[in-house]
Amino acid sequence: MTNLKDIITDYRERRRYKRLQPVAALIDMDGTLYDSMGNHAEAWRIMCEENGLAVTRDEFFLYEGMTGAQTIDLLMQRCRGMHATPEECEQLYRRKTEIFKHLPDVSPMPGARELTDIMKEVGMRRVLVTGSGQNSLLNRLEQDYPGVFLDGMRVTSRDVTHGKPHPEPYIRGMQLAGVTPSQAIAIENAPLGVKSAATAGAFTIGVVTGPVPRAELEKAGAAIVFDSMPECADAFPQLLYEMLTL
């Protein structure tokens, strides 16, 4: 890997940021904090099968980051040639959520606790930025990541008009943290999420945690890509150090 100094300098010059200040961490949830993408894909597949929508399980890894309503609209346009009504979006998403709840429990992503603990220790502001509106995971956050997300420091599907890859979720995250783009680091595992964060102007770290290859995260605009969350957690203190001293 090119060294961190080069990556940071190159990024700063491309963005024309005078300097980078790692004040806030904006963190995605599914596939980043939780090893949940397999269950999501399976819940989508079952819901679609019940409703006569022809899909494959794997296609849902590509839609990761979109809101439920956007995903349903995309499927309805493809399978039925028409937009989904708000009622259909609500009903089908509720059913998908119901199925998800009954699948085997998902685990926190290995390495994610270490990473968020570092962010907490160095005093970075932390904001959750997720396309999800699923309470089954949102309600577990405090238990699995104690003290990481303070009250109100989350952007979910309910807080935005446009989901990822639109920059709105990450712009909202920066507003909650009270930072400018050059003061924000985003952590993402999916191409649409990386695109959202990078377009919003955050230094975006892509982490490979599933079947999507690193080249896709680079193409989507990641400033740097790690091959796992433990690798990301290991390198994070050095990354902060280089940002602060360059």
Q: Smallest gap, in angstroms, from Cβ of residue 153 to Ca ion?
A: 18
Residue among 30 and 73 whose Cβ is closer to Ca ion: 30
Residue among 28 and 242 whose Cβ is closer to Ca ion: 28
Is the alpha carbon torsion for 33, 131, 235, 241 positive or negative? negative
Half-sphere exposure in the Cβ direction for 85 (13 Å, CA): 3
Q: Smallest gap, in angstroms, from Cβ of residue 142 to Ca ion?
A: 19
Sites of contact with Ca ion (CB under 5 A): 28, 30-31, 189-190
Q: Smallest gap, in angstroms, from Cβ of residue 188 to Ca ion?
A: 6
Q: Checking DSSP bridges between strand 24-27 and strand 184-188, what pairing results, if any?
A: parallel
Q: Distances in Å between the alpha carbon of 29 and those of 14, 17, 19, 34, 146? A: 28, 28, 28, 6, 15
Residue among 45 and 195 whose Cβ is closer to Ca ion: 195
Residue among 137 and 239 whose Cβ is closer to Ca ion: 137
Q: Smallest gap, in angstroms, from Cβ of residue 32 to Ca ion?
A: 5
DSSP track, 142-202: HHHSTTTS-TT-EE-GGG-SS-TTSSHHHHHHHHHHT--GGGEEEEESSHHHHHHHHHHT-
CB-CB contact of 204 with 194 (8 Å): yes
Residue among 30 and 242 whose Cβ is closer to Ca ion: 30
Chain position whose Cβ is nearest to Ca ion? 31
Q: Distances in Å between the alpha carbon of 163 and those of 1, 64, 65, 111, 156? A: 32, 10, 7, 26, 9
Q: Smallest gap, in angstroms, from Cβ of residue 163 to Ca ion?
A: 11
Q: Checking DSSP bridges between strand 184-188 and strand 203-207, what pairing results, if any?
A: parallel
Residue among 12 and 96 whose Cβ is closer to Ca ion: 96
Q: Smallest gap, in angstroms, from Cβ of residue 65 to Ca ion?
A: 6
